[in-house]
Structure 1
Amino acid sequence: MSDRLAAGDTAPDFTLPDQDGTEHSLADLRGRKVIVYFYPAASTPGCTTEACDFRDNMSSLQAAGYEVLGVSKDELPALQRFHHEQALSFPLLSDPDLAVHRAYGAWGEKNNYGKIVTGTIRSTIVVDEDGSVQLPLYNVKATGHVASLRKKLGLL
């Protein structure tokens, strides 16, 4: 299991392609606040709920200065389909070798319907303008997560 990040840690840098193949680098977002969220698989019920929740709250997140990046192990065609079908307004990044998942502590053992499995740990990491972890959240629930996140960030 990967080590989890703690508030104050330097967020590991990464460069990953989005659903259209455009590369996004955390370093390029210095000076802005970034929400990096990890989800298990595009087009599954929980991940669709969570992605649409971020989509529906984008205006308030952006108004508060936050960028949102979704990260999964999915390949680009699956991300492109998911992005289009759900009319998402933020990039979905592909991490098929799981390097970024592991660096962020979002890959490891988890309880899936009473069975211990290894996979993506639904996680959200808020990175501040200086590239430090502001708020690390692990094992989050898909439903209601963005409202909880907004409350923790003082945006409600």
Structure 2
Amino acid sequence: NGKKVKSTDFKGKKHVIYFYPKDFTPGCTTEADEFAKDYKKFQKEGIEVIGVSPDDVDSHKKFCDKMGIQFPLLADVEKDISQKFGVWGKKKFMGREYMGVMRSTFLVDDKGKIFKIYPKVKPAGHSKQVLEDFSNLN
């Protein structure tokens, strides 16, 4: 929605921060769709979901509208958040090297402590795994 988001907005709340490369690409669409379908389950458990990619606000708005996403997507156009979380780096695809977001997810408890990191996420089934891992925390 174009509003600025601060880490203090999530103080005292459990949350999932998932980083993905690009709106409207196959893997990213699968991942967002699964989080969107499970979002009510996350809310019931008191867990906020936050998606982050280098796409701009306009792209995120279109993506949210098309996918029915109710949780915030952060526009990390300058890659500041991705760099702070260590998920911006060198990638390889079809023999070509380039810089990009390495699909990763972080689970954060209500005290703001990261208690689980998923590097190199496979999108299919990931949302369910995250829900299960949060329930094991309790």
Q: Is the structural similarity TM-score above 0.5?
A: yes
- Structure 2 match to 1:36: 17
Secondary structure at the aligned position of 1:96 is classed as: coil
The amino acid across from 1:110 in the alignment is K
Bigger Cα displacement from structure 2, 128-137 vs 30-39: 128-137
Secondary structure at the aligned position of 1:23 is classed as: coil
Going from structure 1 to structure 2, the CA distance change for 1:111 and 1:144 (only over 3 Å counts) comes to farther
The amino acid across from 2:18 in the alignment is Y
Kindly indicate whether structure 1 or structure 2 has the higher relative contact order, using CA contacts under 8 Å at least 6 residues apart.
1
Q: 2:68 aligns with which of 87, 92, 102?
A: 87
Query: 5+ residue gaps in structure 2?
Result: none
Q: 1:97 aligns with which of 64, 74, 78?
A: 78
- Structure 1 match to 2:133: 152
1:89-147, Cα deviation, whole Å (9 max, x unpaired): 10111011101001011111234356543210001111111111111111101111112
Secondary structure at the aligned position of 1:62 is classed as: helix
1:17-41, Cα deviation, whole Å (9 max, x unpaired): xxx2112212121110011110100
- Structure 2 match to 1:118: 99
The amino acid across from 1:87 in the alignment is G
Secondary structure at the aligned position of 1:88 is classed as: coil
Provide the C-alpha distance between the structure 2 equivalents of 1:23 and 1:123, rounded to a whole number of angstroms.
Answer: 22
Provide the C-alpha distance between the structure 2 equivalents of 1:74 and 1:32, rounded to a whole number of angstroms.
Answer: 25
CA RMSD of aligned residues (A): 1.5
Provide the C-alpha distance between the structure 1 equivalents of 2:128 and 2:42, rounded to a whole number of angstroms.
Answer: 11
1:56 Cα deviation after fit: 0.5
Provide the C-alpha distance between the structure 1 equivalents of 2:42 and 2:25, rounded to a whole number of angstroms.
Answer: 24
Higher helix share: 2
The amino acid across from 2:133 in the alignment is K
- Structure 2 match to 1:54: 35
Provide the C-alpha distance between the structure 2 equivalents of 1:32 and 1:113, rounded to a whole number of angstroms.
Answer: 40
1:152 Cα deviation after fit: 2.2
Secondary structure at the aligned position of 2:135 is classed as: coil
